[in-house]
Amino acid sequence: MLINCVAYEKGLRLADVPVADIGRFLARPECFVWVALRDATAEEMAQMQEQFGLHELAVEDALHGHQRPKIEEYADDTVYTVMHTVELSPTDEPVVGEVNVFVGPNYVLSVRNRSRHQLLGVRARCEREPELLQLGPAFVLYAIVDSVVDRYFPFVDALESELEAIEDRIFEPGIQARENVKRLYALKQRVTLVRHAVLPLLEAMDKLTGGRVPPGFNHTQHYFRDVVDHLTRILGALENLRETIGTAIQVNLAVSTIEESQTTKQLAAWAGVFALATFMVGVWGMNFKYMPELDQPWGYPAALGVIFGACGVMWWRFRRAGWL
């Protein structure tokens, strides 16, 4: 679906352009066209391919999606960029979308797939800075990439908050260790999801920040270095999260083992107490003919007293040892 198609000249918005008239504005010097599509159809991509002369492989990637984040150059000075967006659905499940951006000497084509990430704010930001928009399509690409990357920060913050909440539950009595491990593994999957979006994009950014950069990007390298700095910070936070999650899983298992050991000690202690009582009752229950206490009136209470006294001593010893 076509969101907008706008022509810019010398950093200023020139006019909204019908798709059929794109070629007329592309022929004007110091003018470029910025087209935004969402969940584009094959017919719309075919139109864009005809208007901008896009490479068929890049068009196929943008149409079918599910590409690894990357930046590719083509012989006609076109730069094709793929980025992943990570968002939460209404049910708090992570949803991965894609933003495909084609950048040429005089055009920018952005295609969003399976994403609610709005780029209208990016366009408004660029139009508020005409002195930067004069840098052309390269600056537009920077603004789009920067907007996508900035959306990672709240997601990572949410992951850190969730991890802190799980860590607080690990030492609470009565909490099921299985539930904690389940939540930690689900959190680890989300961290991996964001990492798969960040790491390839960080590696691809080298093409725009140093050495031989594509034509038209000579004056925007320092902007993309700022994006690299953001991606590096996010990647560092994700690595810390992965390490902390691994540690939390180990601590959770250790706490569970300690609790099980304590339960085993308690059961063993009570078993020892009742084993002593059973032994003594068994001795008095053998019904030998000659047992001096059998003929005494105090024999039965004395036997009970000895049994309870011995069990009490054992209970006290186990209590001091921390088993009960």
Closest CA relative to residue 83, chosen from 217, 239, 233, 224: 224
Residue 38 lies in a domain: yes
Bridge pairing between strands 79-88 and 70-73: antiparallel
The pLDDT tens digits for 215-237 are: 888 888 899 999 999 999 999 99
Give the pLDDT score at 267.
Answer: 67
Give the pLDDT score at 287.
Answer: 65
Contact 74, 61 (CB under 8 A): no
Print burial letters for 28-41: b (CB count within 10 Å at least 16), e (below 16): eeebbbbbbbbebe
CATH of the domain at 24: 3.30.460.20
Residue 236 lies in a domain: no
Could you tell me the two tokens for 30? Answer: 């110091």
Instruction: Say which residues have a Cβ less than 8 Å from residue 15's Cβ, sequence separation at least 6.
Output: 6, 7
The pLDDT tens digits for 183-193 are: 888 899 999 99
Give the pLDDT score at 82.
Answer: 93
Residue 147 lies in a domain: no
The pLDDT tens digits for 297-308 are: 666 676 767 777
Closest CA relative to residue 195, chosen from 154, 238, 158: 238
Whether 238 has a pLDDT exceeding 90, the answer reads yes
Question: In the listed set 89, 124, 159, which residue is the last one of a domain according to the structure?
Answer: 124
Total number of domains in the chain:
2
Residue 57 lies in a domain: yes
Radius of gyration of the chain (CA): 35
CA distances from residue 54 to 38, 195, 215 in whole angstroms, order as listed: 18, 30, 16
pTM of the model: 0.78
What single DSSP character describes residue 45?
H
Bridge pairing between strands 107-113 and 12-16: unpaired
The pLDDT tens digits for 25-71 are: 888 888 999 999 888 888 988 888 888 888 888 888 888 877 889 99
Give the pLDDT score at 275.
Answer: 75
The pLDDT tens digits for 83-129 are: 998 887 777 778 888 999 999 989 999 998 887 777 778 888 898 98
CATH of the domain at 287: 1.20.58.340
Is residue 99 classed as helix, strand or coil in its secondary structure? strand
Give the pLDDT score at 200.
Answer: 93
Is residue 76 classed as helix, strand or coil in its secondary structure? coil
Residue 271 lies in a domain: yes
Whether 285 has a pLDDT exceeding 70, the answer reads no
Give the pLDDT score at 299.
Answer: 63
Is residue 151 classed as helix, strand or coil in its secondary structure? coil
Reported residue count of the chain is 324
Bridge pairing between strands 107-113 and 31-38: parallel
- Which segment, 164-168, 201-205, 287-291, 302-306, is predicted with the most confidence on average? 201-205
CA distances from residue 135 to 29, 139, 216, 298 in whole angstroms, order as listed: 14, 6, 8, 108
Residue 245 lies in a domain: no
Question: In the listed set 73, 107, 124, which residue is the last one of a domain according to the structure?
Answer: 124
Could you tell me the two tokens for 239? Answer: 């690595």
Question: In the listed set 82, 102, 124, which residue is the last one of a domain according to the structure?
Answer: 124
The pLDDT tens digits for 137-179 are: 999 999 999 999 998 998 899 899 988 888 887 777 655 777 8
Whether 213 has a pLDDT exceeding 70, the answer reads yes
Give the pLDDT score at 24.
Answer: 86
Percent of the chain with pLDDT over 70: 83
Residue 267 lies in a domain: yes
Whether 288 has a pLDDT exceeding 80, the answer reads no
Separation of alpha carbons 199 and 70, rounded Å: 10
Number of alpha helices (DSSP H) and beta strands (DSSP E) in the chain: 11, 7
Separation of alpha carbons 52 and 215, rounded Å: 17
Give the pLDDT score at 109.
Answer: 93
User: What type of residue is 211?
Assistant: G
**Domain hosting residue 65, numbered range:** 1-124
Residue 143 lies in a domain: no
- pLDDT bracket for residue 290 (50, 70, 90): low
